[in-house]
Amino acid sequence: MSNKSVVELGKANYMGNYSQFPIAIRSGKGIVLTDEDGKEYLDFVAGIAVNALGYGDEEEKKALLSVIESGVLHTSNLFYNSHAVHAAAMLNELAGSEEVFFCNSGAEANEAALKMARKYGSSRGRSQIISFSHSFHGRTYGAITVTGQEKYHKGFAPMLPDVVYAEFNDLDSVKALLSERTAAIIVEPLQGEGGIIPADKEFLEGLRKAADDCDAMLIFDEVQCGLGRTGKPFCFQHYGVTPDILTLAKALGGGLPMGAVAAFSRAKGIFAPGDHAATFGGNCAAAALAEVVMARIPELSASVEENGRYLGKKLHGLVERYPDLCSAERGMGYMRGLDLKVPPRDVIAACMEKGLLVCSAGYTVLRFVPPLIATKEDIDKAIGIVSEVLEGISQSQP
């Protein structure tokens, strides 16, 4: 097929909820994707922070093939399967958590976390959830409610009751909302969709203390920033602040849908049989890929920490070189944003034309979330293309 024929078929049959770029991806190798017309792209999107090991990874291939050869892709949770239990043990080891629930997406992981918090709070008269400005937690009703951005609520009222919003990185705004009814605080340690905004250390420490003081659950949503992306296995490990509940998805299933909720000490044992479930949670194929991904996270985290600093430096260079087009560089590891003074979509389209895939975050930010295997040479190529695009815009401005 060609890009054109795939795009036309999509437009004729899809609902209109996406504004997609008019290319169709056919194949990938390493961190390079090829579209249906044969054009190649250096991929700094990674399926939006999903494809940690890039494309065509041999270990992923082997793991998936062995599941296919077993004949059993799915067992349901009426029974155990070896891949899911190993994946759970690996996640507990990596995160320092005590027990795990598997589901299929980030939104689903957050729904489960909210239910855990409400259940824990139910015998304590606590049901209120505090969330933050600029946050993003997914598109199901609970998840959009705790997403502190009006644009995601518009047209979908009423939201879930008993959710209030504080200002991100403003502890006083949290203190003003804390009460004997507070059940949970949900926060991304490094905000993604809201514009790549890292939490301050004192802020997360303050949230930990606030949750402890009122016996509420502190939920860290690491759906995007978890699993090596920030240069440590989990973003919270940069801060020395441990949550009660951690939610994950994106990179976990190596490209297959997989989400997880990990519970730490106080949150252990909240769910009893019958409280929660997901038919596909812990699916054999997704869990087999999760085993491969998690086995590589410690080593990849270390290279992301070093290469991420390099990416940050290069982006900072663009801010200095093009002050009329860029206002700031933010982020950690391989989750970085370049805040622009021009519409990100124009820059993204021009980069795509030159063979680089990047995406946006918030209204003004160009987001860089490459596969964790990306090298300094890949960074040089990507920054070279962004620089050419910014140079072109700068020269076309009056």
Ligand X SMILES: Cc1ncc(COP(=O)(O)O)c(C=O)c1O
Residues within the interface to ligand X (CB under 6 A): 105-107, 110, 136-138, 188, 192-193, 221, 223-224, 249
Question: 185 or 325, CB closer to ligand X?
Answer: 185
CA distances in angstroms from 124 to 41, 110, 180, 214, 363, listed in the order given: 53, 21, 9, 10, 40
Q: What span, in angstroms and rounded, lies between the C-alpha atoms of 171 and 204?
A: 9
Hey, is 305 helix, strand or coil? helix
**Shortest distance in whole angstroms from residue 219 CB to ligand X:** 11
* Cβ at position 369, least distance to ligand X in Å: 10
CA-based nearest residue to 299, from 356, 217, 227, 353: 227
Q: Which is nearer to ligand X, 280 or 322 (CB)?
A: 280
Provide the minimum distance between the beta carbon of 257 and ligand X in the complex, in angstroms, as a whole number: 8
Q: Residue 148's beta-bridge partner residues?
A: 133
CB of 107 vs ligand X, minimal distance in Å: 3
Q: 89 is written with which tokens? A: 């043990």
The angle, 0 to 180 degrees and rounded to 10, between the axes of the packed helices 82-95 and 284-321 is 40
> How far apart are the C-alpha atoms of 299 and 135, rounded to whole Å?
29
Handedness of CA 143, 147, 152, 154 (dihedral sign): positive
Surface-to-core class of residue 350, CB atoms within 10 Å of its CB (0-12 exposed, 13-18 middle, 19+ buried): middle
Of residues 75 and 149, the one with the C-beta less far from ligand X: 149
Q: Which is nearer to ligand X, 35 or 193 (CB)?
A: 193
| Of residues 231 and 318, the one with the C-beta less far from ligand X | 231
Q: Which two tokens stand for residue 296?
A: 């590589």
Residue 256 makes CB contacts below 8 A (sequence gap 6+) with: 283, 285, 286, 289
Cis previous bond, 158, omega within 30: yes
Nearest distance from C-beta of residue 135 to ligand X, angstroms:
8
If the CB atoms of residues 245 and 325 are measured against ligand X, the closer one turns out to be 245
Sequence-ordered list of residues with C-beta below 8 angstroms from that of 227, at least 6 positions apart, any chain: 52, 233, 234, 248, 250, 251, 252, 293, 294, 297
Nearer Cβ to ligand X (106/370): 106
Residue 71 Cβ, how far from ligand X at the closest point, in Å?
Answer: 28
Q: Which residue is nearest to ligand X (CB)?
A: 106
CB of 110 vs ligand X, minimal distance in Å: 6
What's the closest the beta carbon of residue 159 comes to ligand X, in angstroms? 16
Q: Between residues 3 and 110, which has the closer beta carbon with respect to ligand X?
A: 110
CB of 38 to ligand X, least distance (A): 30
User: Which of 46, 44, 52, 30 shows the shortest CA–CA distance to 231?
Assistant: 52
DSSP H or E segment with residue 312: helix 284-321
Give 21 or 310: the residue with its C-beta nearer to ligand X: 21
Beta-carbon neighbour count of residue 39 at 10 Å? Answer: 14
